[in-house]
Amino acid sequence: MTAREQMLGAIRRSLRRGTQAGEARAAVEARLRRHPVNIVPARTAGTDEDRVRLFERWATFNQATVVRVGVADVPGAVVDYLAANNLPARVVMAPDAALDRYDWDGRPMLERRRGLPEDADRVAVTGALAGIAETGTLVFTSGAAHPTSLNLLPETHVVVLREADVVGPLEEVFARLRARYGEGGMPRTVNTVTGPSRTGDIEQQLELGAHGPRRLHIVLVRD
């Protein structure tokens, strides 16, 4: 037995991982298969409407803006937001088929380009995997239909989120990820975004747009 084997053997014995290693591994794998849920805040309980209102409350608290509209009113809500903030009626949009359910062609003055953002793009429009009522957080997964750079580069991010995709606590997001990507599967990136980008590092003065969009607008769509 080499010195290395002696040292590792001593560590295993001290951790009681000798003959019990197989049992310990089986116990860990069994726990992972059960997907135990931690303590869930009581404020996330209630009806679907309660969760949507809680999400709206916390998103607004974190400097995002929120509007609730019907399916037919989504393009108009985006155009109205751009006009109200003196932004150009030109957006880069995620190549997400879920966004095709809205009548963008009904707003011919809105210029749309699908794909990756460029330096000149000031506004991005995307969907989201979910909204978390507990904190007013949005969850984005990367992929061909949703390049992560759309979340980060343009200074204004408009998110079209179905009210049916607003969940209560963070734990429900993991269930959605498993349902979409399969057991043990994950996209390359999962981003959780709570309000526009900000920092208070310099003299504790809040500055928006420090590491990403300085505006976050959420269009909540009633089903």
Count of domains observed in the chain: 2
Asked if 143 and 152 touch (Cβ cutoff 8 Å), the reply is no
- Give the whole-angstrom CA distance, residue 223 versus residue 221: 6
Give 34's contacts (C-beta < 8 A, 6+ positions apart): none
Same domain, 72 and 137: yes
pLDDT for 17 equals 63
Same domain, 80 and 116: yes
Same domain, 65 and 143: yes
Same domain, 62 and 23: no
Same domain, 17 and 118: no
Same domain, 11 and 108: no
Asked if 128 and 158 touch (Cβ cutoff 8 Å), the reply is no
pLDDT for 210 equals 65
- Give the whole-angstrom CA distance, residue 216 versus residue 191: 14
Give 186's contacts (C-beta < 8 A, 6+ positions apart): 177
Q: Name beta bridge partners: 162.
A: 221
What is the four-CA torsion angle of 98, 102, 103, 105, rounded to 10 degrees?
A: -40
- Give the whole-angstrom CA distance, residue 43 versus residue 86: 37
Domain that residue 9 falls in? 1-34
Asked if 134 and 44 touch (Cβ cutoff 8 Å), the reply is yes
Ordered DSSP codes for 80-148: HHHHHTT--SEEEE---GGGGGS-GGG-TTSEEEESS--TT--EEEE--SEEETTTTEEEEE-BTTB-T
pLDDT for 197 equals 75
Mean pLDDT by runs of 10 across the 223 residues of the chain is: 84 69 74 76 88 96 96 97 96 96 95 95 97 96 94 96 95 90 88 82 63 90 90
Same domain, 112 and 139: yes
pLDDT for 13 equals 77
Asked if 213 and 68 touch (Cβ cutoff 8 Å), the reply is no
Same domain, 178 and 82: yes
The single-letter code of the amino acid at 75 is P
Give 170's contacts (C-beta < 8 A, 6+ positions apart): 132, 134, 135, 137
Same domain, 10 and 104: no
Q: Where residue 211 sits, what CATH number does that domain have?
A: 3.40.50.10420
Number of H helices, E strands in the chain: 6, 12
Same domain, 116 and 50: yes
Strands of the sheet with 111-114, listed across from one edge? 65-69, 215-221, 156-162, 123-126, 90-93, 111-114
The owner of tokens 């959780």 is 192
Same domain, 56 and 118: yes
Same domain, 164 and 132: yes
Asked if 222 and 71 touch (Cβ cutoff 8 Å), the reply is yes
